[in-house]
Chain A
Amino acid sequence: GAVVSQHPSWVICKSGTSVKIECRSLDFQATTMFWYRQFPKQSLMLMATSNEGSKATYEQGVEKDKFLINHASLTLSTLTVTSAHPEDSSFYICSARALAGARSYNEQFFGPGTRLTVL
C-alpha cells in the first residue's frame, strides 16, 4: 500500500514554456502533499507544502508565482513550473502524507520523481 505516482517521469521543454507535473496518491487519501526539488548530487529541498482545498505554503526563496501548486482533491496535487528556464532543470519529487488517524500518518510516501530539462 501507500503508492504515490508522478507524471510525467521526465520532460524536456523549451525555455519559456510551462510544465505541469502531477502527483497522485493511488491507494490512500492525502490531505497534505509536499513538493521537493533535488539538484544532482544534492539533498531534497522542500519547495512547498500543499494542503487539499487551500493555498500552498511555500518555503523561503521559492517563488509562488513561478511554481504554481494546486491540490484539488485528496489524491491529486499538481506543480506547474511557469516560464521555465534552464536553471529550473532539476529532479522534482512529491510526497504524500496519509490522513490524520491513519497508522502511517507521520510518514511521507514519495513519488518516483520527474526529471525536468529546460533547453
Chain B
Amino acid sequence: GENVEQHPSTLSVQEGDSAVIKCTYSDSASNYFPWYKQELGKRPQLIIDIRSNVGEKKDQRIAVTLNKTAKHFSLHITETQPEDSAVYFCAASPNNNAGNMLTFGGGTRLMVKP
C-alpha cells in the first residue's frame, strides 16, 4: 500500500517568514495530493491540492509543488501569520476503483511566533 512520510514533525517560524513542509510517497499510482490544515479538536480543512498533471499550484500565500519522478511534494507558506499556526497534513490518493482513499502523512505542527 501507499506510505506517506512528512517532515518536519514540528516547525517554528517567526511571523512573516516562510514555512516549507515536505512529503514523500511510495506508490507511483498516486495522482492526487491534498494538504489539510487542522486546528486543535477540529476537522481537517482542505487548503490546497495538486494533481499529477501539474508541477506547481499557487493560491495567494500558499503554494504546492510536485515532483512525480522523485515522488515528493511540498507545501510552501509565505508571509506566515499567527493564525497559520496549526497541524498540517499531506495526503496521497491513487486513481483506482477502491474509492480514492487518502493516506495521510504524520502531520507537521506549525507554530508562528508573533
A and B associate in one complex: yes
A residues whose Cβ falls under 8 Å from a Cβ of B = 32, 34, 42-46, 49, 51, 57, 91, 93, 95, 97, 106-108, 110-113, 115
Which B-chain residue is minimally distant from A10 (CB atoms)? B41
Residues on the A chain within 8 Å of B99, using CB? 32, 34, 49, 51, 57, 97
| 17 contacts across the A-B interface (CB closer than 8 A) | A34-B101, A34-B102, A42-B106, A42-B107, A43-B106, A43-B107, A44-B44, A44-B104, A46-B103, A49-B101, A51-B99, A93-B43, A106-B51, A107-B34, A108-B34, A110-B36, A115-B41
Complex alpha-carbon distance, A69 and B83, angstroms: 36
Interface pair B43/A107, CB less than 8 Å apart: no
Mark B61-76 against chain A: 1 for CB-CB distance below 8 A, else 0: 0000000000000000
Interface pair A44/B89, CB less than 8 Å apart: yes
* Closest 4 A/B residue pairs (Cβ): A110-B43, A32-B99, A112-B43, A43-B104
